[in-house]
Amino acid sequence: MLYLIDSLMGRTRVTINENERAIWLYKGEVRGILGAGEHVLPNRRQQLRVERMTLTGGAFGSAYEKVLFDKLPDQAAAHLTQYRTGTDEIAVIECDGRIHSVLSPDSKLTVWTDAGPWKAEVVQLEQNPVIAPALLQRLLKAGVASLLSNVRIVEVDKGQIGLLTVDGRMAGELTPGVTGYWMVGQKVAVKIVDLTRQPLDVTGQELLTKDRVTLRINVAAEYRVVDPVKAVTEVKDFADTLYRALQYAFRKTLGAMTLDQILEKQVMVDAEAATKVRSDMAAIGLEVTDITLKDVILPGEMRELLNQVVSAQKAAEANVIKRREETNATRSLLNTAKVMADNPVMLRLKELEALESIATKVDKLTVTNGTTGLMNDLVSLSGD
């Protein structure tokens, strides 16, 4: 009966569920927002139009949003909540205690009030782009990619430090751990700097010695960053700067020396070159410890010549030793002869020793002495 009466009266009954809201229009004009329950609306000539929306998700999206706030502000205020951010602001929107969305600068979000309760946390980017640790954990826990589209996560390991810059200006240091910062409204970057000791090798560097010998050298160094801000801001690449400093220092030092000096005074060369390198690197925040000239590599033909020189030197040394030994032996014989000349008994004893030695090796031996010899007659010795 009611539906018959409504039809005769040009009306329509519309039921809105608890999880729904609706915008209704009559004759093309927005008339209001319908809450949960039954509504009797004019509908002559079927000119009523109802646009239903679910409260699930909370966000309000309709082409009639502006009309509602402009022409029906009371109804809009009764059903809708609107959030806006400024040029340097980000807003974290919560619904019923959980993060719903993150608003970028100069953005707007309209939600169904009844889908709440709602809460907004506004962050001033100009003051600090770093996300508070508690908020970062909540964002990560939410695990929604759209929430993290404006967020960058940086992990700084033990022994490292992160240098935070905003629009090219140093804004702070990030200690070991996980840190997040907002990526909107300004240019934010993080430079990770390793504070542990690092090795650096300069290999295969060619140079010309004072005596015009071409060499290749290998240099090894160890360094660590003691002032990360200086190391990052004073030069473009501190490791490359150290590399070039080692190249220049050793080329300059070794280039003023002959090949023999380099081979003989390698330790001293290290000390001379290292002093300059350490001083220059301290100015950009680096502490350089060990610097070693590891290898001096000669060209093939130079190695061959050097080997020949060394061989000749060794042969000369051996010849000197041999001549010295021969001289000593001759001098010893001369001394012995002088002793025997002064002592006839000693001479005769030596003769007897010689005869004894010879007699053991032959069957028959004949010895003839002079008138002043050991014996006056012919002596025959038989080995039998």
Q: Which of 41-45, 293-297, 374-378 has the lowest mean pLDDT?
A: 374-378
How far apart (Å, rounded) are the C-alpha atoms in residues 70 and 82? 13
Contacts of 150 (CB under 8 A, 6+ apart): 90, 102, 104, 182, 183, 184
Are the C-beta atoms of 243 and 278 separated by less than 8 Å? no
> Given the structure tokens 């309000």, which residue do they identify?
60
Q: Which of these, 134, 132, 102, 111, lies nearest to 53 by C-alpha position?
A: 111
CB 159 within 8 A of CB 196: yes
Over the chain, what is the mean pLDDT?
83
Q: What is the pLDDT of residue 351?
A: 66
Rounded to whole angstroms, how far apart are CA atoms 182 and 171?
Answer: 13
Quote the pTM value. 0.60
Could you tell me which residues are beta bridge partners of residue 112? 80
Is the pLDDT at 370 greater than 60? The verdict is: no
Write the Ramachandran bin of 28: left for phi over 0, alpha for psi from -120 to 50, otherwise beta.
left
Q: For residues 244 and 279, what is the distance between their CA atoms, to the nearest angstrom?
A: 14
The predicted structure's pLDDT at residue 315: 62
What is the Cα–Cα distance from 16 to 266, expressed in whole angstroms?
93
Q: How far apart are CA 323 and CA 330, in angstroms?
A: 10
**Share above pLDDT 70 across residues of the chain, in percent, rounded to a whole number:** 79
Helices (H), the chain: 2-9, 65-71, 73-79, 133-142, 228-233, 238-255, 259-264, 266-282, 300-342, 344-359
Average pLDDT (207-215) is 84
Tens of pLDDT, residues 345-364? 666 666 667 666 766 766 66
Closest alpha carbon to 196 in 236, 224, 176: 224
Band of pLDDT at residue 376, cut at 50, 70 and 90: very low
Q: How many whole angstroms separate alpha carbon 107 and alpha carbon 357?
A: 122
Task: Tell me how far CA of residue 124 lies from CA of 13, 128, 135, 202, in angstroms.
Answer: 49, 7, 14, 48
> What torsion do the CA atoms of 56, 101, 150, 164 make, to the nearest 10 degrees?
-150
* Terminal-to-terminal C-alpha distance of the chain: 167
The answer, yes or no, to whether residue 24 has pLDDT greater than 80, is yes
Which residues touch 379 (CB under 8 Å, ≥6 apart)? 366, 367
Query: How far is the C-alpha of 337 from the C-alpha of 129, rounded, in Å?
Result: 105
User: Mean pLDDT over residues 12-29, rounded?
Assistant: 94
Dig out the tokens for 138 from the structure. 């909540």
Question: Does pLDDT of 383 surpass 70?
Answer: no
Q: pLDDT per residue over 37-76, tens digit each?
A: 999 999 988 899 999 999 998 999 999 999 999 999 999 9
